[in-house]
Amino acid sequence: MNPEKKLFPYFQPIIGAAGGTIIGYEALARQHDANGRVISAGELFSSPDIAPDQLIAWDRTVRRLALQKFSQSNFNGYLTLNISAAWIDLIADFTALPTLLMLDEFAIDRSRIIIEITESKGNLDNLVEIAAVYRSHGLKIAIDDFGAGFSQLERVMAIQPDIIKLDMQLFQNATRGGIASDIVHLISRLATRTGCRIVCEGVESVDDFHFGLSCGAQYMQGYLFSPATGEFKRPLYYQKQISSLRKTFLKKTLAKEERKIQFISTIKSLIKLLKEALETDFNLSRLATHPFKKSGVLRFYLCNNQGDQISSNFNFSGAKWCEDTAQLGFNWAWRPYFYQLLALEAEKDSYRIVMSERYRDFNIDILCKTLSLRLDSERILLMDIEAEWL
């Protein structure tokens, strides 16, 4: 049987985390297997044995059916249409794009359509040009599977998409922590600065949803809510579920923040001890009797007001302090935790703790944060602690 006769669109909901409503759907190609079950048509479209012209024709058939059903529904949100970056190179005339003609045919408001560029292949100049054409007609642009390849970063800079959809594998790896988590948080910050919105795909569990919230993702998509189906649901269908998920996130995050505040209180008491020791009789052995290990303290050192390190590193390990002179004379004035402290003092907000962002210590391969505070008029105290404590 001709595959074109078996291909049809299914729609997976995209959920807004803040309102708990279905804000849009992604149209996905489906077909029936030999037993009549609905399966993805992804294997068909990725087949190297089928000519690109034939695949494009089938894709347009599915897209037309999706737009027709979208126009006949009562749904007032967005519809996302996938377009292969590699296929864009085969378009001869950007002034007569089939998708735009279909939108006219079904009288669909173009501002409700998102063009989702898939795959890492394709000529970047052509992508930029077609994105500009779609935008000039009121459509929005999304980049799919961001994080799946280095070329995606180049696309973001060139196309400046409205939406970034995180690569499903990257997102799911990120929920387990490690470098993938750091990358997703960096992507979230990039999106915030460029005005993009983040969609997390592959949200399959409560932990996935909570991680997405912690990254600042506005939209979620995945089996936690629904696979792709043949019908559009009412916009508030998942609102109670989302409300419950947000409440458990708040409870979980609040407990974590309370532990962090308690820890900072402990750190402040240890800093007070350090200050007293450095201002009077400096005795490392006596300091070692205090609970530095339980607070994740790794080291402390002193700088002058110009950022020059004027003391050794005093490293805490094995329940004792060890002195290391290797960084004596280094300058740290260029680090945010140093100049931010001076800026606060210039605004008469003195004697408070400034905390760095999380970073990996090159020498001991541990994620750390640095705290800085004023010791006296000439010296600034800096303390490195394990980031997991904060």
89 domain-assigned: yes
Torsion sign over Cα 149, 153, 155, 159: positive
Q: What is the CATH number of the domain that holds 381?
A: 3.30.450.20
**Domain-ending residue, one of 172, 204, 237:** 237
Q: Output the average pLDDT for the chain.
A: 87
Report yes or no on whether pTM surpasses 0.95: no
> How does pLDDT run across 305-324, given as a tens digit for each residue?
999 999 999 888 777 888 89
Whether residue 20 is found in the same domain as residue 140: yes
Whether residue 117 is found in the same domain as residue 16: yes
Cα 302 to Cα 379: distance, rounded to the nearest angstrom: 6
252 domain-assigned: no
Whether residue 315 is found in the same domain as residue 182: no
246 domain-assigned: no
Whether residue 194 is found in the same domain as residue 340: no
- pLDDT the model gives residue 159: 86
Whether residue 233 is found in the same domain as residue 325: no
**Containing structural domain, residue 142:** 3-237
Whether residue 58 is found in the same domain as residue 176: yes
**Domain-ending residue, one of 237, 271, 304:** 237
> How does pLDDT run across 350-375, given as a tens digit for each residue?
567 888 988 888 778 888 899 998 88
- Residue 42, pLDDT > 50, answer yes
Please list the residues that pair with 141 across neighbouring strands. Answer: 115
> How does pLDDT run across 189-202, given as a tens digit for each residue?
878 887 888 899 98
- pLDDT the model gives residue 1: 44
Whether residue 69 is found in the same domain as residue 170: yes
More confident residue, 119 or 158: 158
- pLDDT the model gives residue 65: 96
Whether residue 230 is found in the same domain as residue 338: no
More confident residue, 180 or 66: 66
Whether residue 304 is found in the same domain as residue 175: no
**Mean pLDDT for the stretch of residues 29-39:** 92
248 domain-assigned: no
Whether residue 180 is found in the same domain as residue 270: no
Q: Are 360 and 367 in contact (CB under 8 A)?
A: yes
How many domains is the chain built from? Answer: 2
- pLDDT the model gives residue 326: 93
250 domain-assigned: no
- pLDDT the model gives residue 148: 66
Whether residue 103 is found in the same domain as residue 186: yes
Residue 119 banded pLDDT, cuts 50, 70, 90: low
Cα torsion 294, 372, 283, 386 to 10°: value is 20
118 domain-assigned: yes
Share above pLDDT 90 across residues of the chain, in percent, rounded to a whole number: 45
CA distances for 262 relative to 36, 105, 358, 368, angstroms: 59, 62, 19, 18
194 domain-assigned: yes
251 domain-assigned: no
Whether residue 39 is found in the same domain as residue 142: yes
Q: Are 306 and 331 in contact (CB under 8 A)?
A: yes
